[in-house]
Amino acid sequence: MIADTVCRRLIAAARRAQTQAYAPYSKFTVGAAALGADGIVYTGCNVENSSYGLSCCAERNAVFHAVSCGCRKFAAIAVVGDGPDPITPCGACRQVLAEFAVPAVILAGADDSYTVMTMEELLPQAFQFTVEK
Ligand code: THU
C-alpha cells in the first residue's frame, strides 16, 4: 500500500503542474505527477488544441515526460482536477498507464481528498504485448 505522505507529495506536485495547463476550450485544468522508480517526480498538465482531438491529458503528458527522460518504470501517479469528486482518467490514459504498469493511481478532486486505484481496477484485461521496458 502506498503511504499517505507519498500520495500527498505527488498531489502537491500535480497541483503545481495544473497551473501550467493549457485548457482554453474546456476550461478544465488537470495536473499529474508520476513517481518514477528512479525516485524522480515527472509532471504533466493537459494541453488542448483548437482541433480538439489533438488535445492531450495531463497524466499521459506526465508519463510521456518521464519516458522522454529515460524513465519507464513507475511507483505511482497522482492526477488532480477541480471537480467535486476525484478525477477519473479517460480510456486512452488508462491504456497508457497500463502500458507502463503504473501500480498505484492516486485520484483527487478540488478538496485534495483522494482515492487510490490499481490498474486492474481502472482497466481490467488491458490490451498488452509482453515487451521489455
Ligand atoms: N483531462 C485530463 O487531462 N485528464 C483526465 O483524467 C480527464 C480529462 C483533460 C482533457 C481535456 O483537456 C479536459 O480535461 C476536459 O476533458
How confident is the model over 34-92, as pLDDT tens digits? 999 999 999 999 999 999 999 999 999 999 999 999 999 999 999 999 999 999 999 99
Q: What is the pTM of this model?
A: 0.97
List, chain by chain if needed, residues with CB within 6 Å of any ligand 1 atom. Answer: 23, 26, 28, 30, 46, 48, 55, 57-59, 79, 87, 89-90, 93
**Count H helices, E strands: the chain?**
4, 5
Q: Which of 16, 6, 5, 1 is nearest to 36 (CA)?
A: 6
The string of pLDDT tens digits covering residues 8-26 is: 999 999 999 999 999 999 9
